Structure 1
Amino acid sequence: MKEIADHGVRFGRIAATLPVTDMDKAYDFYTRVLGFTKVFENGNPVGFMILKRDAGELHLTLQRNHKATDFNVAHLMVDDIDALHARCKQNGARIIKGLKDQDYGLRAFVFEDPDGNRIDVGQAI
């Protein structure tokens, strides 16, 4: 693959934006189960929300007709994957790919949020 010159452009923050059909349900899941905190919301009713936890940032956008895909839409790196995996299971998150040490150097699993958005979680081995 050919590399492209950066032309002096410096990139800053980039965040995954997840479509959700029910903002309250998504907010509950990401704050109660995953420990994110709301830092911004827009609209009445709320149609967009920014959540943060540590260095992670997630944007939720209300899309009432959202249909989940069968591929991962975000990748999350953590420092205690076993604890997060247990928390997801305890709270009824659907585990798509079970917790496993992968040959590419990560311990990983994939779960679905309440809207079927697949999140790939990893921790360096």
Structure 2
Amino acid sequence: MATIIPTFRYDDARAAITFLTTAFGFEEHAVYEHEGAVAHAELKLGDAYIMLGEHRDAGSDLAYGGSTTYVVIDDPDAHHARAVAAGAEIVRELTDQDYGSREYAAKDPGGNVWSFGTYLPS
């Protein structure tokens, strides 16, 4: 068995959590703070998880910003409307793709691009 959990770093992890829950519908699963910063957090969307934490300049070899993640969802129109209402920066408008997916993409506060759509590899 293998489980893949994308992990992200943000300058302000608490603000990122607020954005991800408000704009994209994630739910807080666990948040651990250390010295006033989010050291580790787990957010849930359906049965899937992501992990995130505060970006640390010194002593960290973990990736920071610039990733792209695709999330399979049932209702991209409603999801897109939620993201727009929350002020998300839409970088690819909601559209029907020639491969059968309906999808859009938005940036989060850390510069990561999130694509949401109906395409599910089989």
TM-score range, shorter chain: 0.7 to 0.9
> In 2, distance between residues paired with 1:53 and 1:15?
12
Describe how 1:85-124 pairs up with structure 2 within 5 A. 85-124=80-119
Partner of 1:4: none
Distance in 1 (alpha carbons) for counterparts of 2:49 and 2:55: 19
Q: Deviations over 1:23-76 (max 9, x none)?
A: 11011112222222222223413221100121121111211568643xx52110
The structure with more radius of gyration: 1
TM-score, normalised relative to structure 1: 0.79
- Given the alignment of the two structures, is residue 46 of structure 1 paired with residue 17 of structure 2, yes or no? no
Q: Which runs of 5+ in 1 are unaligned?
A: 1-9
In the comparison of the two structures, how many residue pairs are matched?
Answer: 112
Please tell me the root mean square deviation across aligned C-alpha atoms, in Å. 1.9
Q: How far has the Cα of 1:100 moved from its partner?
A: 0.7
Q: Distance in 1 between matches of 2:64 and 2:9?
A: 9
Between the aligned partners of 2:64 and 2:27, the Cα distance in structure 1 is 25
Q: Is 1:14 aligned with 2:4?
A: yes
Residue 60 (structure 2) aligns with: none
Aligned letter for 1:47?
Answer: A
CA contact (8 A) 2:25 2:45 kept: yes
Residue 49 of structure 2: which of 41, 54, 57 is its match? 57
TM normalised by structure 2 equals: 0.80
Structure 1 vs Structure 2: percent identity of aligned residues?
31
